[in-house]
Amino acid sequence: MNVEIHLDASGSMAGRVSGGVKMDLAKEAIRNFASNKCRGCERGMKRVD
């Protein structure tokens, strides 16, 4: 399976939500996905401003 992740890197990602800073939460979610759900996947990542 091939997966490409697009990460919002705009200034709004510095904002806080109930769980913490948006960018930190997004990075954590990507790490969890890559480690637990996508073992053996071909992965790519693109930063979107």
Query: Where do the structural domains in the chain lie, given as residue ranges?
Result: 2-48
Long-range contacts of 25-33 (CB under 8 A, 24+ apart): 30/5, 33/5
pLDDT in tens, 13-34: 999 999 999 999 999 999 999 8
Percent of the chain with pLDDT over 70: 100
C-alpha dihedral sign at 9, 12, 13, 14: positive
pTM for the whole structure: 0.83
Q: How far apart are the first and last CA of the chain?
A: 26
